[in-house]
Amino acid sequence: MKGKTQGLTGRQVEYFALGGALGSGIFLGVGQGIHIGGPSLILAYAVAGIVMYIVARCLGEMALNGNRGGSFVSYTKRYWGPRAGFVHGWGYWVCGTMVCMAELTAVGMLVHSWIPSIPQWIPALGGLLMLCFINTLRVRVFGEVEFGMALIKILALSLFLVVGVWLLFAGPTTSLPTATVNNLWTQGGFFPTGLQGFLSVLPIAAFAFGGTELICLAAAETVDPERTLPRAINGLLVRLLLFYVGTTFLIVTLVPWREVPTDGSPIVAIFERMGVRAAGAIMSVVLITVLLSACNSLMFGMARVLRALALERCAPAPFGRLNRYDTPGNAVAVSMLAISAAIALNYFIPGEVFGLLMNSIAMAVVAVWAIFVAVHLRFRRSVDDLGSLTYAAPFAPWGNLFVLLFLVAVTGILAMDATFRPAFIYVAGLFAGLFLFTLVRKPPPTVD
């Protein structure tokens, strides 16, 4: 994208990618996942991590060999057509809006539970205004802020991993009398709830890795992307598997899976069993940082996608303008206005908004990832010499087909769940509505 400065360093990009993927799922969602699938959640995270890596490699290949400086909107439009580019771009933007709304809602819920006198909508509004301001500054400033927030998450998880490994090798203690690797198979086996339980946690695992695509959206604003992007993507798989698989492994070995709490953070529960009474308060601060970091990363991506839509004549032209800091200020403002709907929802239906959003997000993430790998297949068909590709995606096209089969399976699981059925209908209606809109509007010109 012409006009944007390349200001993100390799260090910032690597932590930016981790910041987008290390969200509330690893701190809160893991408890619900263990309740449904037991230790098999470890395998679900491993499979979802491989799927995430394939998607990231597909995007990395297109970012370094396709329309340099563009976004996946331009890739979809070029290799699949104007209508597909319109649907993909706006679908992703709406999906990002819902995720940010959910993250800010969770911030409001945490602060309200901590300080009941503060209404749930006030922290959500404060967080939104702060993140909007950060995203209108120079990209290097944004990168430093996101680096700091991601570092807090990484340090918190690293501390748990170190303490957890020490506790596991130390064996059963008074505070943790059940700490043993045997918990993996003596509490009903590795698949205690059967195949159905394992399949049911796949959507939870898939949603946890949502946001990793942001690393490729940052390519146009990265210093030396040919070196930085491959290093960041390769490191992403190892780090995410370490944190997700490692954390889940330690939780189910330190505590029998049936005793893992579902209404809070299992990490906090384990520290409290050890006698660390301040764990709850400390983790609340960490969780607020986690949620704001994930929302901050997504606002960055949403603004870039909205600007790309404007440059491709799929959105009003003013959305594509840069401010004096070379960031898409108008796109940030429009995204903020859309996300602000969460403030109203938190005011009128504070007890229902989070569940409504989370169910819809899971379905939207599946749809967006499926389009990513499908577009990559079309990109590959347009390349005469595949051997000339820089940072070529491994196992293509079979890796793409594996991802599509995985996403189809996740969609089927969600569609059969009565809880997710309204969200399934909503997301299907969203993408169908966007496609129908392209039939009545004047198609944007194709990219040469």
> In whole angstroms, what is the distance from residue 271 CA to residue 276 CA?
5
Q: Is the peptide bond before 230 cis (omega within 30 degrees of 0)?
A: no
pLDDT at 4: 53
Give yes or no for a contact between 77 and 312, defined as CB atoms under 8 angstroms apart.
yes
Query: How many Å apart are CA 216 and CA 57, to the nearest integer?
Result: 9
Structure tokens at 141: 């400033």
pLDDT in tens, 258-315: 988 877 778 888 888 887 777 777 888 888 888 898 888 889 989 999 998 998 888 8
Q: What is the mean pLDDT of residues 93-112?
A: 85
Residue 39's pLDDT band, with cuts at 50, 70 and 90, is: very high
φ/ψ region of 81 (left if φ > 0, alpha if ψ in -120 to 50, else beta) reads: left
| Structure confidence at residue 13 (pLDDT) | 79
Helix, strand, coil shares of the chain as percentages rounded to 5? 75, 0, 25
Q: Indicate the SS3 state at residue 8.
A: strand
More confident residue, 159 or 352: 159
Q: What is the pLDDT of residue 1?
A: 45
**Mean pLDDT (whole number) for 101-128:** 86
Using DSSP's 3-state secondary structure scheme, residue 415 falls into: helix
Dihedral angle over CA of 59, 64, 66, 71, nearest 10: 60
Q: 422: which 2 tokens?
A: 């309204």
pLDDT of 2 > 50? The answer is no
Unique residue bearing structure tokens 């309204």? 422
Q: Can you name the residues that pair with 222 across neighbouring β-strands?
A: 8
Statement: residue 446 has pLDDT above 50: no
Which residues contact residue 268 at a Cβ distance below 8 angstroms, ignoring those fewer than 6 apart?
A: 279, 280, 283
Distance CA 185, CA 191 (A): 8
Could you tell me which residues come within 8 angstroms of residue 335 by beta carbon, excluding any fewer than 6 positions away? 93, 96, 97, 100, 299, 302, 303, 306
State the average pLDDT for the chain. 84
Task: Give the percent of the chain with pLDDT over 70.
Answer: 92
Nearest to 57 by CA among 331, 422, 417, 389: 389
The two three-digit tokens of residue 11, written as one number: 């260090």
Cα dist. 61→198, 300, 375 in Å? 32, 21, 12
Cα(294)–Cα(298) distance, integer angstroms: 6
DSSP string, 101-129: HHHHHHHHHHHHHHSTTS-THHHHHHHHH
DSSP calls for 378-389:
HHHHT-S-GGG-
3-state DSSP call for residue 325?
Answer: coil
Number of H helices, E strands in the chain: 19, 0
Predicted local confidence at residue 448, as pLDDT: 38
Residue with tokens 């290799």: 79
**Segment 302-357, tens digit of pLDDT:** 999 999 899 888 888 899 899 888 889 999 999 999 988 877 777 777 666 666 67
For residue 30, pLDDT over 60 is answered with yes
Q: Summarize the confidence of residues 152-167 as an average pLDDT.
A: 88
| CA-based nearest residue to 407, from 386, 430, 427, 382 | 427
- pLDDT tens column, 42-65: 999 999 889 988 998 998 888 888
Across residues 418-442, what is the average pLDDT? 84
Question: Residue 24 carries which side chain, given as an amino acid letter?
Answer: S
Per the CB < 8 A criterion, the answer to whether 273 and 40 are in contact is no
Of 2-11, 16-25, 101-110, the one with minimum mean pLDDT is: 2-11
Sequence-distant (≥ 6) Cβ neighbours of residue 165 within 8 angstroms: 250
Q: Which residue has the higher pLDDT, 3 or 315?
A: 315
Mean pLDDT of 416-425: 79
Altogether, the residues listed in the chain come to a count of 448
Give the whole-angstrom CA distance, residue 356 versus residue 161.
32
This prediction's pTM: 0.86
**How many other C-beta atoms can be found within 10 angstroms of the C-beta atom of residue 358?**
19
What are the structural domains of the chain? 10-440 (1.20.1740.10)
pLDDT of residue 104: 86
User: How does 24-43 read in b/e, with b if 16+ C-beta sit within 10 Å?
Assistant: bbbbbbbbbbbbbbbbbbbb
